[in-house]
Structure 1
Amino acid sequence: MSSAPEPVFFLDRTLDTALVRAALQSQPGPVLRHAELFDPATPDAEWLPAVTTRGGFVLTQERRLHYNPLELKALQASGAGTFIFVAKGLTGAGLAECVLRALPRLRRFVQRHPRPFVAKVYVDGSVQLVQGT
């Protein structure tokens, strides 16, 4: 078993739901929440570096991030490690199950890939690097 510390995962506004939070409570490692740390209107350019400074890896459903060159540039500049859940149509319990299914792969991924990076997470929990350092 690896002695690496548990990664800190950050739920952005799109994934900070009661069901996702409840599912993560049974898992090891800290979870940060956008609603606990930032005003809802806080721009990405402000909260992304703050999360990275705290050692957090962003979990989001903002699919547009990896298509928008300006958003990708902001992610890279912040030094963030970002996982975009692209499980279309999943909400509620299905989304919470998807996050739980992906956690072991997310933990391995952060040990193998230096930040900044952007990766997609699929409904089966698989992870694919979109853009890395």
Structure 2
Amino acid sequence: MTPPAQPVFFIDWCLGKTVANTLLEAGACVEHHGNYFTPNTPDAEWLSVVGDHGWIVLTKDKGIGTNPLELQVIARANVKVFSLASGNLTRQQMADLFAGVLKKLEKFTTGNQAPFIAKVYKDSRVELWRNRTQLLKLLK
């Protein structure tokens, strides 16, 4: 599937509706996990669907970047993932952080080829964590 002109951010269940609503108010295109999947849908399952749609994952789930199965799904489905480096923020703090770096995320996605996993830090830094080459090696 061809990605849309404006990036679509897929909000993982663990971030909640506050992040989704705040990003919508900031002008982002947003899809929320709860609109497509149950809360207990395995990450490997929904990551594959998100990749098929060309959506960009926003999460705070640290396991997505370390679980071998999930890493392989990210690689195979060409998923772009942004994960909060600090998961111990309030929902509103997470929402404000993602809204504050929205333009950085959009620019980052155009400058980095999928698949990748990047970290979003409290100080608004966005840094590549696992790049395309590293992820695609997992498929060999």
In the TM superposition, 1:1-133 aligns within 5 A as 5-17=5-17, 19-133=18-132
Which whole-Å CA distance do the structure 2 matches of 1:52 and 1:16 have between them? 20
CA RMSD of aligned residues (A): 1.7
AA at the equivalent of 2:56: F
So what's the TM-score if we normalise by structure 1? 0.87
Which whole-Å CA distance do the structure 1 matches of 2:67 and 2:41 have between them? 19
So what's the TM-score if we normalise by structure 2? 0.83
AA at the equivalent of 1:70: L
Q: Is the CA contact 1:101–1:124 (under 8 Å) kept in the aligned structure 2?
A: no
AA at the equivalent of 1:8: V
Find the residue that maps to 2:15 and give its secondary structure.
Answer: coil
117-126 or 71-80, larger mean C-alpha shift: 71-80
AA at the equivalent of 1:47: W
Q: CA deviation at 1:58?
A: 0.5
Q: CA deviation at 1:88?
A: 4.3
Q: CA deviation at 1:70?
A: 3.5
AA at the equivalent of 1:113: N
The structure richer in helix per residue is: 2
Find the residue that maps to 2:14 and give its secondary structure.
Answer: coil
- Give ranges in structure 1 of 5+ residues lacking alignment: none
Which whole-Å CA distance do the structure 2 matches of 1:109 and 1:53 have between them? 20
- Give ranges in structure 2 of 5+ residues lacking alignment: 133-140
Deviations 1:32-54 (A, max 9, x none): 11100112222222211211111
Q: Is the CA contact 1:6–1:28 (under 8 Å) kept in the aligned structure 2?
A: no
Which whole-Å CA distance do the structure 2 matches of 1:87 and 1:6 have between them? 27
Find the residue that maps to 1:84 and give its secondary structure.
Answer: strand
Find the residue that maps to 1:118 and give its secondary structure.
Answer: strand
Q: CA deviation at 1:28?
A: 2.5
How many residues were matched structurally?
129
